[in-house]
Chain A
Amino acid sequence: MSNAALIGALINLSGPGHYVHWGFISISVANLVVIGLMVVTFVAAIAIPFRRKGGRS
């Protein structure tokens, strides 16, 4: 693969996908990462103060 083709992705996406198996649950690492990011964003949205104009929280 040329260097130019690799610039588009942070990691090499040419290989087979990675999966996590836990009992009957099987999920791709990519999907697990997205779910983790959603949980982090959800918690951050509740925890981080919302500042309005004039500096009032």
Chain B
Amino acid sequence: MTTIDEQAEIDAQWTTRMRKSLVAKLPPEKLLPDRQPAYMSSWIYVFGALTMAALSVVILTGIVLSLEGPAWWHLSSFGHFVNSLHLWSVELFFFFMIIHLWGKFFMAAWRGKRALTWATGVITFIAAIGAGLTGYLSQTNFDSQWISTEAKDGINAIGVGAFFNVLNFGQMLTWHILVLPIAVAAITLLHLLLVRSKGIVPPIALEADGPLDGGEGGAA
């Protein structure tokens, strides 16, 4: 049995304070809700989840490719197949992400204190473009040689060639399989937690009728 002093000490611990703060910001029923607002009955709301599904395939196939190495993805049938899965899941990732972006842009999805949600989406998009470029450079074929010699002029023109040298294969591979995937995955996770915390943005017409909490009100 804890005394009043012990309880006060427990309440003052940083772990206790952090847990209470996190649970208050994102209670489990908001993190994994049972129902969604009625206004989400449209296919346009599906594209964020589709983007994350594609990203999962990108990461899983990328892990396999990095473990097996270039000779495997160039020369074996299964290596070719996994390499193609990696490429096409990236194509779908960008395809779905851009439709998600258009949808959220026309909804003005930064409304209702959701600016950070929008900003994390923008940063993910930029990091993903970098991951795409370094991915092309990591292929170890004539394409990657051509793209790197073309890209070096652009990168030098903006003055960062000394730090981000597209002709340095080892550096580009590290960016592609370590730095940028961690950035994309971490910011996507933050983006998702912000979406769950703030709720899905209500349509402009609904909001005009009065304040709405996107995560709670009008459950379908």
Contact = CB atoms under 8 A, between A and B. Distances in A.
Note whether A and B form a binding pair.
Answer: yes
Interface of A: 34, 37-38, 41-42, 44-46, 48, 50, 52, 57
B42 A42 contact: no
A42 B41 contact: no
Given A52-B41, A57-B41, A45 B220 contact: no
Contacts of B91: 34
Interface residues of B, number: 13
A34 B95 CA distance: 8
Interface string B23-51: 00000000000000000011110110000
Contact of B102 (A34, A37, A42, A57): A42
A8 to B, nearest CB: 8
Contact of B103 (A44, A45, A48): A45
B41 A45 contact: no
B99 A41 contact: yes
Contacts of B46: 45
B99 A45 contact: yes
Contact of A50 (B41, B47, B95, B102): B41
Ranked nearest first, the 5 interchain pairs of A and B with the lowest CB-CB distance are A45-B43, A45-B44, A50-B41, A50-B42, A42-B99
Contacts of A45: 42-44, 46-47, 99, 103
